[in-house]
Chains A and B, each alone.
Chain A
Amino acid sequence: MRGQGQAARLAWLIAAGLVVALFATGCGSSSSTGDRNTDMAQSVGKGEGELNLIGWAGYVANPWKSQFEKETGCQVNFKVGGTSDQMVQLMRTGQYDGVSASGNASARLVDAGDVSPVNVNLVPNYKTIFDDLKDQPYNTFDGTHYGIPHARGANVLMWNKDEVKPSPTSWDVMLDPKKAQQYKGKISVYDDPIYIADAAVYLKTHQPDLGIDNPYELDSKQFDAAVNLLKEQRANVGEYWSDALKQISAFAGGDDWLGTTWQYQYFALLDKGEPMDTSGETQGFVPKEGATGWSDTWMISSQAAHPNCMYEWMNFIVSPKVNAEVSQYFGEAPSQSLSCKPSTLTAAAKAAGLPENPKFCDQYHAADQSFWKNVYYWQTPLADCGDSRGDECMDYNDWVSAWTDIKG
């Protein structure tokens, strides 16, 4: 018994020592809170032979990946990020050279000093990128460029033609409790706090007295209205999806009839012969209220081990033919204006093994600035409203906890 008591005392001692050690290291390495990185490259040297990237699925694929490797000698290691939160987390490890950040990741990366400014003079193809993608709040901070625009797209409303009649022209089929009720249990909703912005886009049109301008800059009154709308919607939701394959299976299996989606799932379901439809060309491919969307930016890590290869990549991915390849492959509007030449589009489609579509840029409104006025790119919600309201807005933590609350 004595021996046992001794062993127990020893165990406690070790455990206590460990706790002290953990606290000590924890406090010692205390956070490097939010200092922007300002070290901008002044020249691009010889490639380092390797490049580690994080991006959305399909952004780094063959044939352009192997073409890049052949041209520059930089071997590309690609890690797919599933969500913006995951990408931020991966970038903070310091193991990666660059990331294709959506607007709801870019501000967080910049403000925490995870990414460096980009010297656009070292990226020759930057000059011919569409002007309305340059100097945007999600890629340029206090006049400093932090990335190269990759491509953009809108989240779309998709429905099953056989079940949903007449074809909806508005998000009200999902968000107006009365109209959504007829599709109770058949509605598919994106499972991410950023979806609150979709409700805000809807309210902007349907409750103008709330005075919503930017759906990511919501004060508490506007935010509560959006959250309450989604709480009402919950009863009608068939499924919340965050995995594209899960949504495809739900539509193919008849569990869901309509919902918010990406082009990727829509095309995949059409390929399976499912009777799917989305807002038509006459409506500009989005419901009448507009839609949320994304505009992605290649950013360079402040801890990049292969900065020269990363600069090579940022120039390569927005070169006319390659940008035409990646955007046709994914189903989004290219950022490079020269990609939209019909001959370039055709050559790129051929290289990527896709059907030729010289009208691709028209269909995706690549050059149509008025179309994008109705598309609200994902953005990180911050306390600072960015206007005269000051620090009255709900920040991303509020959005995340509200999302937990909405789903109940």
Chain B
Amino acid sequence: MEAADALASAPKRSVGRRLADLFHGRRLLQVSGLLSGPLAWLVVGYIGSLIVLLVASFWSVSALTGEISQTFTFDNFNTIFTEPVYRTIAWRTVRVAALVTVTDAVLAFPIAFYMAKMASRRARAALVVGILMPLWSFYLVKVYAWRTMLSADGVINWALGPLGLHGPGYGTTAVWLVMSYLWLPYMILPIFAGLERIPDSLLSASEDLGASPFTTFRRVILPLAFPAVVAGSIFTFSLTLGDYITPQLVSNSQFIGNVVSTNITNNLPLASAFAVVPIMIMVIYLLVARAFGAFEHL
């Protein structure tokens, strides 16, 4: 009787219902249905474009017409590794990225610690909003604001003037300042999440066992929070490594991104070859970060 009922009602079932039946119990179908979209994007859009980049870095360009000739050559990598200017630029980029990362870590840690362990619920919510707020405003607006502040007639010189000092002006120092400002939230949030995970009881236990606050910080908090700092550093480091608009607006210094952007219209192969450099740097960085257990906190 029941079977007959089911048969009779079968044609009336909705499409969704029938799809659900189709997927029921079929594990392979479930997984491929869930993942085929994102996977196609990842392989074609994401990895695919990286492969195109890599392939293009072995091509060359005709000087006469600027057209790309698709014959295999190592010339671009040869140029990048033999011309000293490219090494200077790569080294400058890595140096500033490291400096920004350290600065942000130093600035972010106390803020994150206050948010995670000391602030009331209200204060914590206000701080989270305050930290996220700059991320809602447009990137260019923030950089142009810094450009205005750092200018010769800008507010920084105006404020420092009475003390007989003047601001850094435009230059690599300015890039360091602006980048540290821009990427600070990306450092605070992972550290905050990492610190929040440390149970208060551990801190009490440390105190009960006679450790000074400094020892507690050094022996308990820092080891537990360090992977979170490394996680945050991946953001600050890679974002600095790839930025080319900030250097253009507040300095004359060329970074890897600037060289890529000047070459992309007339020498795509060289631009591609140079773009491989930050990828290699990031791969090394990520391997080191993994050794520090950073990915447990992503």
Q: Which residues of A contact B (CB under 8 A)?
A: 14-15, 18-19, 22-23, 26-27, 30-34, 83, 85-86, 88-89, 108, 111-112, 185, 234, 237-240, 246, 249-250, 253-255, 382-383, 395-398, 400-401, 403-405, 407-408
Contact = CB atoms under 8 A, between A and B. Distances in A.
28 contacts: A14-B43, A15-B47, A18-B44, A18-B47, A19-B51, A22-B48, A26-B55, A26-B70, A33-B67, A34-B62, A34-B64, A34-B65, A111-B64, A112-B66, A185-B169, A237-B252, A249-B147, A250-B151, A253-B148, A253-B154, A254-B152, A255-B153, A255-B169, A382-B64, A396-B66, A400-B266, A401-B83, A408-B89
Contact of A395 (B63, B83, B153): B63
Q: Which of B51, B64, B249, B252 has the most CB of A within 10 A?
A: B64
A406 to B, nearest CB: 9
A23 B47 contact: no
Contacts of B253: 408
A31 B68 CA distance: 7
Of the candidates A19, A185, A397, A405, the one having the most CB atoms from chain B within 10 angstroms of its own CB is A397
Given A14-B43, A23-B55, A34 B262 contact: no
Interface in B25-72: 43-44, 47-48, 51-52, 55, 61-70
A408 B66 contact: no
Nearest to B71: A30
Contact of A400 (B43, B52, B153, B267): B267
A94 to B, nearest CB: 14
A211 B259 CA distance: 32
Contacts of B252: 234, 237-240, 407
Contacts of B69: 31, 33
A408 B249 CA distance: 17
B267 A254 contact: no
A382 B170 CA distance: 35
B137 interface: no
B148 A249 contact: yes
Contact of B151 (A32, A253, A383): A253
Contacts of A32: 67
B206 interface: no
Contact of B83 (A15, A19, A398, A405): A405
A18 B43 contact: yes
Given A26-B70, A33-B69, A396-B66, A404 B148 contact: no
B216 interface: no
**Residue of A234, A246, A401, A403 most packed against chain B (CB within 10 A):** A401
A299 B262 CA distance: 25
Nearest to A82: B265
Contacts of A253: 148, 151-154
Contacts of B154: 253
Nearest to A241: B248
B85 A408 contact: yes
A79 to B, nearest CB: 15
A33 B65 contact: yes
Nearest to B85: A405
B43 to A, nearest CB: 6
Contacts of B70: 26-27, 30-31
B254 interface: yes
Contacts of A408: 85, 88-89, 253-254
A83 B265 contact: yes
Interface in B148-194: 148, 151-154, 169-170
A288 B255 CA distance: 36
A237 B169 CA distance: 13
Nearest to A192: B262
Interface string B245-277: 000010011100001001101110010000000
B62 A396 contact: no
A178 B55 CA distance: 47
Contacts of B85: 404-405, 408
A88 B254 contact: no
B79 interface: yes
A400 B260 CA distance: 12
Given A18-B48, A240-B252, A254-B151, A112 B267 contact: no
A88 B64 contact: no
Nearest to B56: A26
B273 to A, nearest CB: 12
Nearest to A384: B64
Contact of B262 (A33, A88, A404): A404
Contacts of A112: 65-67
A240 B43 CA distance: 39
Contacts of A400: 262-263, 266-267
B265 A86 contact: yes
Contacts of A395: 63-64
Contacts of B51: 15, 18-19, 22
The 8 closest A-B pairs by CB, nearest first: A112-B65, A253-B151, A85-B265, A395-B63, A254-B152, A254-B153, A111-B65, A405-B85
